[in-house]
Amino acid sequence: MIIGEEIELKIEKIADSGDGIARHDGLVIFVENSCPEDILRVKITGVNKKWANAKIVEVLQPSQYRTDPFCPMQKVCGACQLQFIDYNYQLKIKKQIVEDAIHKIGGLDVEVKDVIPSPQIKSYRHKVQYPISQTKVSKRILAGYYKPKSHEVVNIKYCPIQPKICDEIIDFIRNRAFDFGISGFNEKKHSGDLRHVVLRVSKFTGEVLVVLVVNATKSFDRLNDFAKFIYDSFKEVCGVCVNFNSKKTNVILGTKTECIEGNGFIKEKVINKTFKIGASSFFQINPMTAENIFGFVKNYIEKNFENPIVMDAYAGISTFGIIVSDAAKKVVSVEENSEAVELAKETVAANNVKNVEIHKMDTQVFFENEKRKFDIVILDPPRKGCTKETLESVLRITKGKVIYVSCNPATLARDLKYLSEKGAKVEFVQPFDMFCHTVHVESVAIVNIL
Protein backbone atom coordinates (compact mmCIF):
# COMPACT_ATOMS: atom_id res chain seq x y z
CA MET A 1 0.00 0.00 0.00
CA ILE A 2 1.35 3.45 -0.87
CA ILE A 3 0.47 7.04 0.00
CA GLY A 4 -2.05 8.45 -2.46
CA GLU A 5 -3.53 5.02 -3.33
CA GLU A 6 -7.33 4.89 -3.37
CA ILE A 7 -9.17 1.85 -2.00
CA GLU A 8 -12.70 0.85 -0.98
CA LEU A 9 -13.44 -0.33 2.53
CA LYS A 10 -16.10 -0.77 5.22
CA ILE A 11 -15.72 0.86 8.66
CA GLU A 12 -15.94 -1.68 11.50
CA LYS A 13 -15.75 0.49 14.60
CA ILE A 14 -14.42 3.70 16.15
CA ALA A 15 -10.99 3.88 17.79
CA ASP A 16 -10.42 5.84 20.99
CA SER A 17 -8.88 8.60 18.82
CA GLY A 18 -12.31 9.11 17.17
CA ASP A 19 -11.14 7.78 13.78
CA GLY A 20 -13.04 4.89 12.14
CA ILE A 21 -11.24 1.54 11.85
CA ALA A 22 -11.31 -0.72 8.80
CA ARG A 23 -9.09 -3.57 7.61
CA HIS A 24 -7.49 -4.03 4.20
CA ASP A 25 -4.79 -6.51 3.12
CA GLY A 26 -3.95 -7.30 6.76
CA LEU A 27 -3.50 -3.60 7.62
CA VAL A 28 -5.61 -1.61 10.06
CA ILE A 29 -6.74 1.61 8.36
CA PHE A 30 -7.76 4.65 10.41
CA VAL A 31 -10.22 6.90 8.57
CA GLU A 32 -11.13 10.39 9.85
CA ASN A 33 -14.79 11.45 10.13
CA SER A 34 -16.16 8.00 9.39
CA CYS A 35 -18.91 5.96 11.00
CA PRO A 36 -19.26 2.19 11.61
CA GLU A 37 -20.93 0.48 8.59
CA ASP A 38 -19.90 3.28 6.17
CA ILE A 39 -18.73 1.91 2.83
CA LEU A 40 -16.13 4.38 1.56
CA ARG A 41 -13.60 5.15 -1.10
CA VAL A 42 -10.59 6.52 0.78
CA LYS A 43 -7.16 7.88 -0.09
CA ILE A 44 -4.16 6.64 1.92
CA THR A 45 -2.39 9.55 3.64
CA GLY A 46 0.18 7.66 5.73
CA VAL A 47 1.48 4.08 5.91
CA ASN A 48 3.23 2.09 8.60
CA LYS A 49 4.00 -1.67 8.93
CA LYS A 50 0.80 -2.43 10.83
CA TRP A 51 -1.53 0.45 10.06
CA ALA A 52 -2.33 3.26 7.66
CA ASN A 53 -4.22 6.58 7.79
CA ALA A 54 -6.75 7.55 5.17
CA LYS A 55 -9.13 10.36 4.18
CA ILE A 56 -12.59 9.90 2.72
CA VAL A 57 -12.76 10.54 -1.03
CA GLU A 58 -16.37 9.42 -1.42
CA VAL A 59 -19.05 7.93 0.81
CA LEU A 60 -20.27 5.05 -1.37
CA GLN A 61 -22.91 3.89 1.12
CA PRO A 62 -23.49 5.91 4.28
CA SER A 63 -23.95 4.11 7.57
CA GLN A 64 -27.50 3.95 8.95
CA TYR A 65 -26.08 5.69 12.05
CA ARG A 66 -25.08 8.89 10.26
CA THR A 67 -27.12 11.98 11.04
CA ASP A 68 -26.90 15.70 10.20
CA PRO A 69 -24.68 17.49 12.74
CA PHE A 70 -26.56 20.32 14.46
CA CYS A 71 -23.48 22.57 14.39
CA PRO A 72 -22.46 24.12 11.06
CA MET A 73 -18.80 24.15 12.22
CA GLN A 74 -18.65 20.43 13.09
CA LYS A 75 -16.30 19.51 10.24
CA VAL A 76 -13.78 22.31 10.77
CA CYS A 77 -13.79 22.53 14.57
CA GLY A 78 -12.04 19.74 16.45
CA ALA A 79 -14.37 19.63 19.46
CA CYS A 80 -17.28 17.31 18.52
CA GLN A 81 -15.82 14.47 16.42
CA LEU A 82 -18.94 12.29 16.75
CA GLN A 83 -21.69 14.87 16.23
CA PHE A 84 -22.54 13.43 12.79
CA ILE A 85 -23.40 10.12 14.44
CA ASP A 86 -26.82 9.42 16.01
CA TYR A 87 -26.64 10.10 19.78
CA ASN A 88 -27.83 6.64 20.88
CA TYR A 89 -25.22 5.06 18.65
CA GLN A 90 -22.55 7.38 20.12
CA LEU A 91 -23.36 5.76 23.48
CA LYS A 92 -22.81 2.29 21.96
CA ILE A 93 -19.47 3.43 20.52
CA LYS A 94 -18.38 4.70 23.94
CA LYS A 95 -19.39 1.44 25.63
CA GLN A 96 -17.29 -0.45 23.08
CA ILE A 97 -14.29 1.89 23.70
CA VAL A 98 -14.49 1.17 27.45
CA GLU A 99 -14.97 -2.58 26.82
CA ASP A 100 -11.98 -2.69 24.47
CA ALA A 101 -9.79 -0.97 27.08
CA ILE A 102 -10.97 -3.18 29.96
CA HIS A 103 -10.67 -6.41 27.98
CA LYS A 104 -7.58 -5.70 25.85
CA ILE A 105 -5.43 -3.38 28.02
CA GLY A 106 -6.74 -4.63 31.35
CA GLY A 107 -7.06 -8.29 30.27
CA LEU A 108 -10.14 -8.40 32.50
CA ASP A 109 -13.37 -10.30 31.98
CA VAL A 110 -15.50 -7.65 33.66
CA GLU A 111 -19.01 -6.44 32.85
CA VAL A 112 -19.15 -2.96 31.30
CA LYS A 113 -22.69 -1.65 31.69
CA ASP A 114 -24.55 0.45 29.11
CA VAL A 115 -23.45 4.10 29.07
CA ILE A 116 -25.79 6.35 31.08
CA PRO A 117 -26.72 9.19 28.69
CA SER A 118 -26.26 12.87 29.47
CA PRO A 119 -29.57 14.45 30.57
CA GLN A 120 -28.80 17.25 28.08
CA ILE A 121 -26.92 16.83 24.80
CA LYS A 122 -26.91 20.51 23.78
CA SER A 123 -25.78 23.45 25.97
CA TYR A 124 -24.25 20.88 28.34
CA ARG A 125 -20.72 22.25 28.49
CA HIS A 126 -20.46 24.59 31.48
CA LYS A 127 -16.70 25.11 31.30
CA VAL A 128 -15.38 26.70 28.13
CA GLN A 129 -11.68 27.18 27.37
CA TYR A 130 -11.07 29.00 24.09
CA PRO A 131 -7.55 29.58 22.82
CA ILE A 132 -7.06 33.11 21.45
CA SER A 133 -4.99 34.27 18.48
CA GLN A 134 -5.15 37.22 16.10
CA THR A 135 -5.11 37.72 12.35
CA LYS A 136 -1.78 38.80 10.85
CA VAL A 137 -2.85 41.92 8.99
CA SER A 138 -6.05 43.30 10.52
CA LYS A 139 -5.06 42.13 14.05
CA ARG A 140 -8.61 40.87 14.63
CA ILE A 141 -8.93 38.60 17.65
CA LEU A 142 -9.86 34.97 16.94
CA ALA A 143 -11.40 32.80 19.65
CA GLY A 144 -12.56 29.20 19.33
CA TYR A 145 -11.36 25.60 19.39
CA TYR A 146 -8.37 24.31 17.44
CA LYS A 147 -8.86 22.68 14.05
CA PRO A 148 -8.45 18.90 14.38
CA LYS A 149 -4.81 17.83 14.86
CA SER A 150 -3.53 21.46 14.70
CA HIS A 151 -3.06 24.63 16.75
CA GLU A 152 -4.98 26.78 14.26
CA VAL A 153 -7.85 28.56 16.02
CA VAL A 154 -11.27 28.21 14.39
CA ASN A 155 -13.12 31.47 15.10
CA ILE A 156 -16.34 30.17 16.68
CA LYS A 157 -19.21 32.65 17.01
CA TYR A 158 -21.84 30.10 17.96
CA CYS A 159 -21.33 26.81 19.76
CA PRO A 160 -24.49 24.81 20.47
CA ILE A 161 -22.88 22.58 23.10
CA GLN A 162 -22.37 25.49 25.52
CA PRO A 163 -24.86 27.92 27.13
CA LYS A 164 -25.69 30.86 24.82
CA ILE A 165 -24.26 33.42 27.26
CA CYS A 166 -20.77 32.01 26.58
CA ASP A 167 -21.02 32.97 22.88
CA GLU A 168 -22.14 36.48 23.88
CA ILE A 169 -19.31 37.05 26.37
CA ILE A 170 -16.65 35.65 24.04
CA ASP A 171 -17.90 37.74 21.12
CA PHE A 172 -17.78 40.81 23.36
CA ILE A 173 -14.17 40.04 24.33
CA ARG A 174 -13.28 39.36 20.69
CA ASN A 175 -14.70 42.72 19.56
CA ARG A 176 -13.68 44.97 22.44
CA ALA A 177 -10.20 43.77 23.51
CA PHE A 178 -8.55 45.90 20.82
CA ASP A 179 -10.13 49.09 22.29
CA PHE A 180 -8.14 48.42 25.47
CA GLY A 181 -4.92 47.63 23.57
CA ILE A 182 -5.20 43.92 24.42
CA SER A 183 -3.75 41.77 21.63
CA GLY A 184 -4.30 38.08 20.84
CA PHE A 185 -1.54 35.53 21.49
CA ASN A 186 0.91 34.45 18.79
CA GLU A 187 1.98 30.96 19.82
CA LYS A 188 4.93 30.75 17.38
CA LYS A 189 6.46 34.09 18.42
CA HIS A 190 5.27 33.75 22.00
CA SER A 191 4.00 37.34 21.83
CA GLY A 192 0.70 39.14 22.45
CA ASP A 193 -1.44 39.42 25.60
CA LEU A 194 -4.48 37.18 25.69
CA ARG A 195 -3.78 33.41 25.46
CA HIS A 196 -7.09 31.88 26.53
CA VAL A 197 -10.52 32.86 27.75
CA VAL A 198 -11.96 30.45 30.30
CA LEU A 199 -15.62 30.66 31.33
CA ARG A 200 -17.33 28.72 34.11
CA VAL A 201 -21.11 28.84 34.11
CA SER A 202 -23.31 27.77 37.01
CA LYS A 203 -26.25 25.55 36.05
CA PHE A 204 -27.86 26.52 39.35
CA THR A 205 -27.61 30.33 39.31
CA GLY A 206 -26.72 31.06 35.65
CA GLU A 207 -23.79 33.21 36.85
CA VAL A 208 -20.53 33.22 34.87
CA LEU A 209 -16.93 33.51 36.04
CA VAL A 210 -14.63 34.96 33.34
CA VAL A 211 -10.92 34.14 33.44
CA LEU A 212 -8.56 36.02 31.11
CA VAL A 213 -5.36 33.98 30.73
CA VAL A 214 -2.57 36.39 29.82
CA ASN A 215 1.01 36.12 28.63
CA ALA A 216 2.33 38.20 31.54
CA THR A 217 3.57 37.78 35.09
CA LYS A 218 1.64 40.66 36.64
CA SER A 219 -1.42 42.73 35.93
CA PHE A 220 -1.40 46.06 34.06
CA ASP A 221 -3.87 48.97 33.86
CA ARG A 222 -5.29 48.22 30.36
CA LEU A 223 -6.03 44.67 31.45
CA ASN A 224 -7.64 45.71 34.72
CA ASP A 225 -9.77 48.28 32.86
CA PHE A 226 -10.86 45.64 30.35
CA ALA A 227 -11.72 43.19 33.16
CA LYS A 228 -13.85 45.87 34.83
CA PHE A 229 -15.54 46.69 31.51
CA ILE A 230 -16.51 43.02 30.99
CA TYR A 231 -17.82 42.81 34.55
CA ASP A 232 -19.94 45.97 34.15
CA SER A 233 -21.32 44.90 30.76
CA PHE A 234 -23.00 41.57 31.73
CA LYS A 235 -25.40 41.06 34.62
CA GLU A 236 -24.59 37.32 34.47
CA VAL A 237 -20.86 37.85 35.08
CA CYS A 238 -20.25 37.39 38.80
CA GLY A 239 -16.49 37.89 38.61
CA VAL A 240 -13.55 38.51 36.28
CA CYS A 241 -10.15 37.00 37.10
CA VAL A 242 -6.79 37.24 35.42
CA ASN A 243 -4.56 34.19 35.28
CA PHE A 244 -0.86 34.70 34.50
CA ASN A 245 0.78 32.22 32.15
CA SER A 246 3.93 33.43 30.41
CA LYS A 247 5.45 29.95 29.96
CA LYS A 248 6.02 28.12 26.67
CA THR A 249 3.53 25.38 27.43
CA ASN A 250 0.28 23.80 26.25
CA VAL A 251 -1.06 23.93 29.82
CA ILE A 252 -3.85 26.51 29.81
CA LEU A 253 -3.66 28.01 33.30
CA GLY A 254 -0.59 29.36 35.04
CA THR A 255 -0.18 28.97 38.78
CA LYS A 256 -1.20 32.54 39.76
CA THR A 257 -4.76 33.95 39.50
CA GLU A 258 -5.99 37.38 40.63
CA CYS A 259 -9.63 38.29 40.97
CA ILE A 260 -9.97 41.78 39.43
CA GLU A 261 -13.73 42.37 39.81
CA GLY A 262 -16.52 40.59 41.71
CA ASN A 263 -16.13 37.05 43.10
CA GLY A 264 -13.43 34.60 42.12
CA PHE A 265 -15.92 31.71 42.06
CA ILE A 266 -19.37 30.55 40.91
CA LYS A 267 -21.81 28.71 43.13
CA GLU A 268 -23.11 25.34 41.91
CA LYS A 269 -25.71 23.10 43.52
CA VAL A 270 -25.09 19.36 43.33
CA ILE A 271 -27.83 17.16 44.83
CA ASN A 272 -28.37 18.82 48.23
CA LYS A 273 -25.10 20.74 48.62
CA THR A 274 -23.92 24.08 47.24
CA PHE A 275 -20.30 24.30 46.13
CA LYS A 276 -17.94 27.14 45.25
CA ILE A 277 -15.95 26.56 42.04
CA GLY A 278 -12.95 28.83 41.38
CA ALA A 279 -10.86 29.68 38.32
CA SER A 280 -8.31 26.90 38.80
CA SER A 281 -10.30 24.34 40.78
CA PHE A 282 -11.47 21.24 38.97
CA PHE A 283 -15.17 20.66 38.40
CA GLN A 284 -16.74 18.40 35.77
CA ILE A 285 -17.66 20.28 32.58
CA ASN A 286 -21.15 18.72 32.36
CA PRO A 287 -22.92 19.41 35.70
CA MET A 288 -25.97 17.28 34.76
CA THR A 289 -23.94 14.12 34.17
CA ALA A 290 -21.71 15.02 37.12
CA GLU A 291 -24.81 15.03 39.33
CA ASN A 292 -25.74 11.56 37.97
CA ILE A 293 -22.28 10.25 38.86
CA PHE A 294 -22.28 11.77 42.36
CA GLY A 295 -25.80 10.37 42.93
CA PHE A 296 -24.76 6.94 41.63
CA VAL A 297 -21.77 6.79 44.01
CA LYS A 298 -23.82 8.04 46.96
CA ASN A 299 -26.58 5.45 46.29
CA TYR A 300 -24.04 2.66 45.93
CA ILE A 301 -22.50 3.56 49.28
CA GLU A 302 -25.91 3.83 51.00
CA LYS A 303 -26.96 0.41 49.67
CA ASN A 304 -23.73 -1.41 50.51
CA PHE A 305 -22.36 0.18 53.69
CA GLU A 306 -23.51 1.38 57.07
CA ASN A 307 -21.64 4.36 58.52
CA PRO A 308 -18.47 3.79 56.47
CA ILE A 309 -15.21 5.68 56.78
CA VAL A 310 -14.49 7.09 53.33
CA MET A 311 -11.34 8.38 51.67
CA ASP A 312 -11.91 10.92 48.86
CA ALA A 313 -8.61 11.14 46.95
CA TYR A 314 -7.89 13.59 44.12
CA ALA A 315 -10.79 15.42 45.67
CA GLY A 316 -10.88 18.78 43.84
CA ILE A 317 -13.39 20.88 45.80
CA SER A 318 -14.21 17.68 47.78
CA THR A 319 -17.32 17.13 45.70
CA PHE A 320 -17.54 13.36 46.26
CA GLY A 321 -16.55 13.69 49.91
CA ILE A 322 -19.10 16.37 50.78
CA ILE A 323 -21.91 14.65 48.85
CA VAL A 324 -21.36 11.24 50.42
CA SER A 325 -20.80 12.75 53.89
CA ASP A 326 -24.54 12.26 54.66
CA ALA A 327 -24.06 8.50 54.16
CA ALA A 328 -20.74 8.22 56.00
CA LYS A 329 -19.40 8.24 59.53
CA LYS A 330 -16.35 10.18 58.41
CA VAL A 331 -14.80 11.37 55.15
CA VAL A 332 -11.14 12.25 54.66
CA SER A 333 -10.41 14.21 51.52
CA VAL A 334 -7.05 14.90 49.85
CA GLU A 335 -6.26 17.39 47.09
CA GLU A 336 -3.11 19.27 46.03
CA ASN A 337 -4.65 22.44 44.50
CA SER A 338 -4.70 25.19 47.16
CA GLU A 339 -7.64 27.12 45.72
CA ALA A 340 -9.79 23.95 45.53
CA VAL A 341 -8.90 23.06 49.13
CA GLU A 342 -9.78 26.55 50.41
CA LEU A 343 -13.12 26.48 48.58
CA ALA A 344 -13.84 22.95 49.88
CA LYS A 345 -13.28 24.19 53.44
CA GLU A 346 -15.68 27.10 52.82
CA THR A 347 -18.27 24.68 51.35
CA VAL A 348 -18.02 22.38 54.36
CA ALA A 349 -18.62 25.35 56.69
CA ALA A 350 -21.44 26.85 54.61
CA ASN A 351 -23.28 23.50 54.38
CA ASN A 352 -22.74 22.79 58.07
CA VAL A 353 -20.97 19.50 57.30
CA LYS A 354 -19.18 18.24 60.40
CA ASN A 355 -17.62 14.92 59.35
CA VAL A 356 -15.32 15.88 56.44
CA GLU A 357 -11.60 16.30 57.13
CA ILE A 358 -9.75 18.12 54.32
CA HIS A 359 -6.02 17.92 53.54
CA LYS A 360 -4.00 19.90 51.03
CA MET A 361 -1.41 17.36 50.03
CA ASP A 362 -0.11 15.10 47.30
CA THR A 363 -2.21 11.91 47.38
CA GLN A 364 0.78 9.56 47.41
CA VAL A 365 2.52 11.45 50.23
CA PHE A 366 -0.72 11.41 52.22
CA PHE A 367 -1.31 7.69 51.62
CA GLU A 368 2.26 6.76 52.61
CA ASN A 369 1.80 8.33 56.03
CA GLU A 370 -1.80 7.22 56.60
CA LYS A 371 -2.31 4.70 59.41
CA ARG A 372 -6.13 4.44 59.25
CA LYS A 373 -8.04 1.86 57.19
CA PHE A 374 -10.98 2.97 55.04
CA ASP A 375 -14.17 1.09 54.16
CA ILE A 376 -14.26 2.93 50.83
CA VAL A 377 -11.53 4.70 48.89
CA ILE A 378 -12.78 6.97 46.10
CA LEU A 379 -10.06 7.57 43.50
CA ASP A 380 -10.67 10.24 40.85
CA PRO A 381 -7.22 10.93 39.37
CA PRO A 382 -6.35 13.04 36.30
CA ARG A 383 -6.19 11.36 32.85
CA LYS A 384 -2.79 9.79 33.53
CA GLY A 385 -4.29 7.64 36.31
CA CYS A 386 -2.45 6.46 39.44
CA THR A 387 1.13 5.37 39.94
CA LYS A 388 1.94 1.81 41.05
CA GLU A 389 3.09 3.22 44.41
CA THR A 390 -0.28 4.90 44.90
CA LEU A 391 -2.13 1.68 44.00
CA GLU A 392 0.04 -0.24 46.47
CA SER A 393 -0.94 2.26 49.18
CA VAL A 394 -4.60 2.00 48.16
CA LEU A 395 -4.46 -1.78 48.70
CA ARG A 396 -2.94 -1.21 52.14
CA ILE A 397 -5.41 1.40 53.39
CA THR A 398 -8.64 -0.10 51.95
CA LYS A 399 -10.58 -2.72 53.86
CA GLY A 400 -13.71 -2.70 51.66
CA LYS A 401 -14.11 -1.23 48.20
CA VAL A 402 -12.37 1.14 45.84
CA ILE A 403 -14.61 3.36 43.73
CA TYR A 404 -12.41 4.40 40.83
CA VAL A 405 -13.74 7.34 38.76
CA SER A 406 -11.90 7.94 35.49
CA CYS A 407 -12.04 10.03 32.32
CA ASN A 408 -9.53 7.80 30.55
CA PRO A 409 -10.52 4.16 29.82
CA ALA A 410 -6.91 3.21 28.95
CA THR A 411 -5.35 4.28 32.27
CA LEU A 412 -8.40 2.98 34.16
CA ALA A 413 -7.90 -0.45 32.54
CA ARG A 414 -4.15 -0.39 33.31
CA ASP A 415 -4.78 0.45 36.98
CA LEU A 416 -7.61 -2.11 37.35
CA LYS A 417 -5.27 -4.73 35.89
CA TYR A 418 -2.65 -3.86 38.51
CA LEU A 419 -5.17 -4.04 41.37
CA SER A 420 -6.55 -7.36 40.03
CA GLU A 421 -3.06 -8.88 39.82
CA LYS A 422 -2.74 -8.08 43.53
CA GLY A 423 -5.94 -9.99 44.35
CA ALA A 424 -8.64 -7.29 44.03
CA LYS A 425 -11.84 -8.12 42.14
CA VAL A 426 -13.48 -5.65 39.80
CA GLU A 427 -17.28 -5.92 40.21
CA PHE A 428 -18.36 -3.88 37.18
CA VAL A 429 -17.68 -0.70 35.23
CA GLN A 430 -20.42 1.89 34.74
CA PRO A 431 -19.71 4.47 31.99
CA PHE A 432 -21.42 7.88 31.87
CA ASP A 433 -21.68 10.32 28.97
CA MET A 434 -19.96 13.44 30.28
CA PHE A 435 -18.59 14.72 26.96
CA CYS A 436 -21.46 14.33 24.45
CA HIS A 437 -20.46 14.23 20.75
CA THR A 438 -16.78 13.71 21.60
CA VAL A 439 -15.04 10.38 21.83
CA HIS A 440 -14.34 10.88 25.55
CA VAL A 441 -16.17 8.92 28.23
CA GLU A 442 -16.24 8.95 32.03
CA SER A 443 -16.41 5.64 33.94
CA VAL A 444 -16.94 4.47 37.49
CA ALA A 445 -15.41 1.09 38.43
CA ILE A 446 -16.36 -0.73 41.63
CA VAL A 447 -13.50 -2.85 42.99
CA ASN A 448 -13.59 -5.25 45.94
CA ILE A 449 -10.40 -5.34 47.93
CA LEU A 450 -10.25 -8.88 49.27
Binding site for ligand SAM (CB under 6 A): 282-284, 314-316, 319-320, 334-337, 340, 362-363, 380-382
Distance in angstroms (rounded) separating the CA atoms of residues 54 and 42: 6
CA 110 to chain centre: 25
Q: What does 241-300 look like in DSSP terms, one character per residue?
A: EEEE--SSSS-S--SEEEEEEE-SEEEEEETTEEEEEESSS---S-HHHHHHHHHHHHHH
Residue 169 CA to residue 172 CA, distance in Å, equals 5
d(CA 119, CA 331): 29
Question: What span, in angstroms and rounded, lies between the C-alpha atoms of 116 and 432?
Answer: 5
User: Closer CB to ligand SAM, residue 133 or residue 363?
Assistant: 363
- Helices first, then strands: H and E counts in the chain: 9, 22
Closest approach, Cβ 337 to ligand SAM, in A, equals 4
Q: In this complex, which beta carbon is closest to ligand SAM, that of residue 14 or of residue 341?
A: 341
In terms of Cβ atoms closer than 10 Å to its own Cβ (0-12, 13-18, 19+), residue 296 is middle
Pairing state between β 127-134 and 51-61: unpaired
Task: Find the shortest distance in angstroms from Cβ 402 to ligand SAM.
Answer: 14
The set of residues, in sequence order, having a beta carbon less than 8 Å from that of 352 and lying 6+ positions away, is none
Q: Which of 272, 212, 262 is nearest to 237 (CA)?
A: 262
Indicate which residue of 77, 166, 407, 436 is catalytic: 407
Please report, as a single letter, which amino acid is at residue 382: P
Strand bridging mode 208-214 / 237-244? parallel
Nearer CB in complex with ligand SAM: 22/297: 297
Q: Is 238 labeled as catalytic in the residue annotation?
A: no
Residue of this chain nearest to ligand SAM (CB atom): 316
Q: Cβ(253)–Cβ(284) under 8 Å?
A: no
Q: Residue 233 corresponds to which amino acid?
A: S
Give the residue with the Cβ less far from ligand SAM, 33 or 243: 243
The sign of the CA dihedral 225, 227, 230, 231 is negative
CB of 60 to ligand SAM, least distance (A): 42
Q: Which is nearer to ligand SAM, 143 or 403 (CB)?
A: 403
Contact in structure between 340 and 316 (CB atoms under 8 Å): yes
Write down the least CB distance from residue 315 to ligand SAM, Å: 5
Specify the residue, 177 or 327, whose C-beta has the smaller distance to ligand SAM: 327
Number of Cβ within 10 Å of residue 204's Cβ equals: 14
CB of 378 or CB of 436, closer to ligand SAM? 378
Cβ 332 to ligand SAM, closest distance in Å? 13
CB of 280 to ligand SAM, least distance (A): 8
Residues ≥6 apart with Cβ < 8 Å to 275: 267, 268, 269, 283, 317, 319, 322, 343, 347
Least distance from ligand SAM to the Cβ atom of residue 136, Å: 37
Maximum CA extent, the chain: 67
> Which residue's CB is nearer to ligand SAM, number 86 or number 336?
336
Distance in Å, CB of 267 to ligand SAM, minimum:
15
Mind telling me the catalytic residues? 407
